[in-house]
Structure 1
Amino acid sequence: MKDVVAWLKEHGNLKIIDEPLDVELEIPHVAYIEVKKDDSRPLLFTNPINKAKGITYDMPVLMNIFANKQITQDIFGKHPDDVAKGIDALLKLKPPKGVVAKLKMLPMLFNLKNIFPKRLKGQGACQEIIYNKEKVDLDRLPILKTWEEDGGPFITMGQVYTQSLDGQMQNLGMYRLQQYDKNRLGMHWQIHKDASHFFDQYQRAGKKMPVSVAIGGDPLYIWCGQAPMPHGMFELLLYGFVRNENARLVKSITNDIYIPEDVDIVIEGFVDPEKMEIEGPFGDHTGYYTLKEPFPVMDVETITMKSNPVYAATVVGKPPLEDKYMGWATERVFLPMLKPMAPDLIDYNMPENGVFHNLILAKMKTLYKGHAQQFMHAFWGVGQMSFVKHAIFVGENAPELEEFEALTEHILNRLDKNKVLITQGIVDHLDHSSPEQFVGGKLGVDATGSEVAEGVAIPLVDSELLAKMKEIDSNILELKQYMTHTKNPICVITVEKTASISEDWDKVDSLKDHIKVLVIVDKANNDIQDPYMLIWRVVNNIDAQRDVKLSPFIVIDGTNKGIIDGYDREWPGDTHCTKEVLDRLQSLDVIDIDETFIRKFGLLPFE
């Protein structure tokens, strides 16, 4: 992995694009489209330019490094499940009894010496070129602007290295970094993250906080940066565990932060805790823009790099994206770490169209009444699992969690509104649906039991049911029923909303013989025929305490919220590509997509 581009050419079917393309919108749009394909490939853009600034860059842009499951597995050098087995064995390690047991333990203990990062003397390959403060210019880097409404260009795959005030704890995180000008970056470390906790320490002490941002190098560094390690554990320990070799670190030139010696680019500097600046908006991994908000600012002191650096970046927006495959690896590796708090957990899955923290599916061995509810509270109370909004639990005899159609049927045959738990807890910093930032509704479904006895009393075909719906509200425009062969079919309707959906809730009693689960979405930008994107929309848009009604049947309001709903926060817009950019890329034969592809993934607003 020392030469990532060469490795991807050999192992990853790397696609090289020599056409000069703009870092503003064009390159990100190509990567966004590529990763949505079934046979997606990593991309190397050899001639990035910036038309607005008149810049031709002398370094290529590498994107979609984690383009599919096979490449992700190859980056690890093993299946993530094998990493999980090693962690599980480590967690279950007990003092050996007898000489034979001690001898059997020696290989594991010997390998553990490779976990801890090694600090090297001298400089690394990442410091072959040094630009000191007078020569610092972030415009040397092909920093991308992904979406038309973004507040500016953003570093999207920066490995952000920080340490606690006393220097005893180190952290590697992956946060977006907005470029303000030639020597300042916005530090979007969210309030729940370790780097933000370190920042609080420096702020209380009235001291500037050192930060080093690395770009490139071994892709496993990137994955480690987003791994949900327990508080206080340095993410590069995980690198050593996976690689079975120490991460090799060198000291930054202008601060005391250590970074991997083989990364391509290092941006060093300090964050003044007294200075905050508006960051955003930014089209984020939720598929929505996150709004303007004050965040700390990094003053860049030095930029170092290899003699021939490669700029690594990712693109976020509506699923599926590269984070699908990074998230898959994370999900597999961290299963053993969940089991101590939920010992009867068999497996779990976080579908990418559930935006990971918005939906979790879990399989468990149920031993007693209320066991699933116990697991819900355990998940909502520990680490980054506490951000999960919606959790569905099934029993050990359920289909595999990635067999989504069979699993959906299994769940709907066991769905009982009396086994739906709605409560409140913390939500992700990026969540836009809750009435109050950081706190919102949680929903848990216990589908671990036997099939329910009763289904729909009087089934109706879609046209008949739509006619009855229109009698309730003429603003209901479309209707489609899914899984009608199950005990709890899902009825989806689209609306042209002129009032809060809650005004119709008391009127739906007349439909109780025909409906078990009703889901409501806006007509605008939703395709009622596309369940993949409907799931994405609904789990993003609902706050369970406000938007889920359990009587006389389950009603879920997945519409956008506003003043008519009593929602007084700003509701963000979808991430959409720029049509003129897509047309230009098509004319250059850089992309090849049709209207079906555009609609399927919501690339443009629906007409």
Structure 2
Amino acid sequence: MGYRNTRDCLDALEAKGDLVRIDKSVDAELEIGAIQRRVFQAKGPALLFNNVRGCRFPMAANIYGTRERMRFIFRDTLETVERLMKLKLDPMELLKHPWRYLKAPVTAWHTLPRRVGSGPVTANETTVSSLPRLKSWPMDGGAYVTLPQVYSEDPSNPGFAGSNLGMYRVQLTGNEYEKDREVGLHYQIHRGIGHHHAEAIRRGVPLKVNVVVGGAPSMTLAAMMPLPEGLAELFFAGALGGHRIPMVRRPGGLPIPAQADFCICGHVTLGEEKPEGPFGDHLGYYSLAHGFPVLKVDKVFHRDDAVWPFTTVGRPPQEDTMFGQFVHELTAELVPSVFSGVHEVHAVDAAGVHPLLLAVGSERYVPYAAERQPQELLTNAMALLGNTQTSLSKYVLIAAREDLPYGLTCHDVPGFFRHLLERADLTRDLHFITRTTIDTLDYSGISLNQGSKLVFAAAGSRKRELGTELPSGLDLPRGFRDPQVFAPGILVLKGPKHRRKRDQQDPALERLGELFARVEGIERFPMIVVADDANFTAANWDNFLWVTFTRSDPATDIYGAGGFTHAKHWGAEKAIVIDARLKTYHAPPLEPDPEVERRVDELGAKGGPLHGII
């Protein structure tokens, strides 16, 4: 029933022919991460590196790199967990089909962790400097743990029920951290550990934290699950893992998963921060160095046969994309029970997840009206922005289910954009929230954690026919060129290099909007995007979504063809113009090291361990 530790999982993958051992010496600085990304892009197998330069511990990667491998790892329990999810949505299912839920009591039993006196993880002690030093991108500030399970408990109500298990990156080396005594703990806003940290500060006590690596695969997935506040991820790990998670009692400290490969035990002291970063992140840019809590290291444990699982992140899709897709499969049917009136959501991976959320909702407030317009949709959108991880969304594009043609879903990105752009009233349906919190990793805002959001709603009948050819007589001002139709109703063009300061709009874009307002036929292109490289941006949907939504802040970077403000409401008569250029204050995009990529190429050459894979 489920894999209890990393070795069991890797052995099963190898027996299945879905793991490759690499015995050639590889470097954990840049090279091993580049290998992992290349193998993932090739939809290749899991990897076990047995000869990591300067480190005695093997490292494993790409364990979760394909949908098929994810479902194989959790094959014993996945069906039962999916059925229990459905049972939450419709309790009558148990009465209608009781035989489908015969395993439910056993699964419920598995959610309860069990306390044990000892376990494999506490067999050995080591130091932080002896752990693998994974550096994923050239400008990273040091070595990082990239698949951590960060465990904490509520200081005012300790125990498993009030625990939090999250995947917050941990910096092992670099910057100002004292060797072997401190590591950096980066957690973003709206994370469960933040509640525990706030309570520790209120009580004037250190916050105990364990950083766990490896162990049951269900623990890794649980650390990534966007579970509701108050529902312990540890319980979900037991259900998905098919067994009660054994936790080693440690006097004076937090319990440790007995089957983990490694555990860094420590505490966060009051009011101490040190620079953490830079780090090449999942939006495709570096997150820069900022002050974050410091974890004072008390002990570092590891099991006898310890393996260090890792991944690397970067511009999507990457291995963490598979986690997102897997979580969506588990939770898609629960969306209406969490957000009343919302039927479907799609946090778009190609746009970096949080920058763009597509959604389908009901529009039933005035069913007798001659023409439907967004009303309930706005309530739906505000609910999405007020709960769980969807609250970090920057752009929320939402359409009415009543208007969707049969079969159209918000996971059909081109079809959804076309549907929305055909129906949106740009004078009415753009709703900005300014000076609010945004994702910590998003540098498009006016400061760290601060920027704006946009709800772009559409309901009712078609209001325009979308253009598919450039308007005749389009004469762009100096510095703007290469206009091209990317998709029906969407124009992309190249703009001059951005030279403004943070929290400033660009007069050149304002003038561009004024010019477009005079172009005949521009209303057939309600979305116009200005980029640094129009050809790159318009090459495919992945490029368009990444550039447009990771490089723009709605309030600062949206202009209008016929823009106006009335009673503090902003709208556009003909089209919106999105400034998606890299700004002077943006973090730099991730670029691989050419020499490292050359070494990876050699591994894929004839006779190399990755020949035929990459």
The TM-score with structure 1 as length reference comes to 0.85
Q: Secondary structure at the match of 1:449?
A: coil
Distance 2:412 2:61 in 1: 29
Tell me the residue number matched to 1:144. Answer: 134
Tell me the residue number matched to 1:601. Answer: none
Q: Secondary structure at the match of 2:396?
A: strand
330-339 or 534-543: bigger deviation: 330-339
Aligned pairs for 1:230-269 within 5 A = 230-252=228-250, 255-269=252-266
Q: Secondary structure at the match of 1:269?
A: strand
| TM superposition shift of 1:88 | 3.4
Tell me the residue number matched to 1:410. Answer: 419
Task: Verify the 8 A CA contact 2:348 2:354 in the aligned structure 1.
Answer: no
CA deviation map 1:434-471 (0-9, x unaligned): 11333322222334433334444xx7448x67xx343x
Q: Secondary structure at the match of 2:445?
A: coil
Task: Verify the 8 A CA contact 1:80 1:332 in the aligned structure 2.
Answer: no
Task: Verify the 8 A CA contact 2:422 2:465 in the aligned structure 1.
Answer: no
Q: Secondary structure at the match of 1:496?
A: coil
| TM superposition shift of 1:72 | 1.6
Task: Verify the 8 A CA contact 1:399 1:406 in the aligned structure 2.
Answer: yes
Distance 2:127 2:155 in 1: 28
Amino acid in the other structure paired with 1:152: G
Tell me the residue number matched to 1:161. Answer: 151
CA deviation map 1:89-140 (0-9, x unaligned): 13544899xxx999989947623542433223221121222x2xxxx42222
Tell me the residue number matched to 2:502. Answer: none
Q: Quickly say closer, same or farther: Cα 1:508–1:461, change in 2 above 3 A.
A: closer
198-207 or 230-239: bigger deviation: 198-207
Aligned pairs for 1:322-471 within 5 A = 322-368=319-365, 369=373, 370-394=375-399, 395=401, 396=404, 397-417=406-426, 418-424=428-434, 425-456=436-467, 460-461=469-470, 468-470=474-476
Deviant stretches of 4+, over 6 Å: 78-82, 100-106
Q: Secondary structure at the match of 2:147?
A: coil
Distance 1:35 1:404 in 2: 23
Q: Quickly say closer, same or farther: Cα 1:503–1:19, change in 2 above 3 A.
A: farther
Distance 2:341 2:16 in 1: 38
CA deviation map 1:283-325 (0-9, x unaligned): 1111111111111111222221121111011101111101111
Distance 2:38 2:196 in 1: 37
Task: Verify the 8 A CA contact 2:64 2:323 in the aligned structure 1.
Answer: yes
Tell me the residue number matched to 1:506. Answer: 514
| TM superposition shift of 1:23 | 0.5
Q: Secondary structure at the match of 1:585?
A: helix
User: Which among 451, 474, 482 is matched to residue 478 of structure 1?
Assistant: 482
Please tell me whether residue 283 in structure 1 is matched to residue 280 in structure 2. Answer: yes
Q: Quickly say closer, same or farther: Cα 1:110–1:229, change in 2 above 3 A.
A: same
Aligned pairs for 1:572-587 within 5 A = 572-587=587-602
Distance 2:197 2:573 in 1: 46
Amino acid in the other structure paired with 1:42: A
Tell me the residue number matched to 2:564. Answer: none
Q: Quickly say closer, same or farther: Cα 1:280–1:18, change in 2 above 3 A.
A: same
Tell me the residue number matched to 1:305. Answer: 302
Q: Quickly say closer, same or farther: Cα 1:79–1:508, change in 2 above 3 A.
A: farther
Give unmatched runs, 5+ long, in structure 2: 174-178, 366-372, 500-505, 560-571, 609-613
| TM superposition shift of 1:74 | 2.0
Task: Verify the 8 A CA contact 1:289 1:575 in the aligned structure 2.
Answer: yes
Task: Verify the 8 A CA contact 2:335 2:345 in the aligned structure 1.
Answer: no
Task: Verify the 8 A CA contact 2:482 2:534 in the aligned structure 1.
Answer: no
Aligned pairs for 1:534-573 within 5 A = 534-549=544-559, 550-562=572-584, 570-573=585-588
Please tell me whether residue 44 in structure 1 is matched to residue 41 in structure 2. Answer: no
User: Which among 85, 105, 111 is matched to residue 110 of structure 1?
Assistant: 105
Distance 1:158 1:14 in 2: 22
Tell me the residue number matched to 2:503. Answer: none
Task: Verify the 8 A CA contact 1:119 1:258 in the aligned structure 2.
Answer: no
Q: Secondary structure at the match of 2:201?
A: helix
Q: Secondary structure at the match of 2:116?
A: coil
Tell me the residue number matched to 2:176. Answer: none
Q: Secondary structure at the match of 1:519?
A: strand
Task: Verify the 8 A CA contact 2:77 2:241 in the aligned structure 1.
Answer: no
Q: Secondary structure at the match of 2:604?
A: coil
Please tell me whether residue 493 in structure 1 is matched to residue 515 in structure 2. Answer: no
Q: Secondary structure at the match of 2:518?
A: helix
Q: Secondary structure at the match of 1:334?
A: helix
Distance 1:120 1:209 in 2: 21
Q: Quickly say closer, same or farther: Cα 1:584–1:392, change in 2 above 3 A.
A: same
Q: Quickly say closer, same or farther: Cα 1:341–1:498, change in 2 above 3 A.
A: closer
Amino acid in the other structure paired with 2:460: G
User: Which among 26, 47, 56 is matched to residue 58 of structure 1?
Assistant: 56
447-456 or 176-185: bigger deviation: 447-456
Tell me the residue number matched to 1:603. Answer: none
Task: Verify the 8 A CA contact 2:163 2:234 in the aligned structure 1.
Answer: no
| TM superposition shift of 1:12 | 6.7
Q: Secondary structure at the match of 2:136?
A: coil
Tell me the residue number matched to 1:174. Answer: 167
Give unmatched runs, 5+ long, in structure 1: 50-54, 563-569, 593-597, 599-607
Distance 1:29 1:246 in 2: 36
| TM superposition shift of 1:24 | 0.5
Tell me the residue number matched to 2:10. Answer: 5
Amino acid in the other structure paired with 1:242: L
Q: Secondary structure at the match of 1:22?
A: coil
Q: Quickly say closer, same or farther: Cα 1:338–1:402, change in 2 above 3 A.
A: closer
Distance 1:580 1:524 in 2: 29
302-311 or 404-413: bigger deviation: 404-413
Tell me the residue number matched to 2:114. Answer: 119
Please tell me whether residue 520 in structure 1 is matched to residue 530 in structure 2. Answer: yes
Task: Give the paired residue count.
Answer: 559
The TM-score with structure 2 as length reference comes to 0.84
Distance 2:189 2:104 in 1: 37
| TM superposition shift of 1:337 | 4.3
| TM superposition shift of 1:163 | 0.9
Tell me how large the CA RMSD over aligned residues is: 3.0
Distance 1:443 1:228 in 2: 22
Distance 2:343 2:327 in 1: 16
Distance 1:193 1:32 in 2: 27
Distance 2:155 2:77 in 1: 37
Task: Verify the 8 A CA contact 1:287 1:319 in the aligned structure 2.
Answer: yes
Q: Secondary structure at the match of 2:517?
A: helix
Q: Quickly say closer, same or farther: Cα 1:512–1:192, change in 2 above 3 A.
A: farther
Task: Verify the 8 A CA contact 2:486 2:538 in the aligned structure 1.
Answer: no
Distance 1:246 1:362 in 2: 36
Q: Quickly say closer, same or farther: Cα 1:298–1:28, change in 2 above 3 A.
A: same
CA deviation map 1:60-110 (0-9, x unaligned): 1111221111112222327968734412313544899xxx99998994762
Task: Verify the 8 A CA contact 2:341 2:380 in the aligned structure 1.
Answer: no
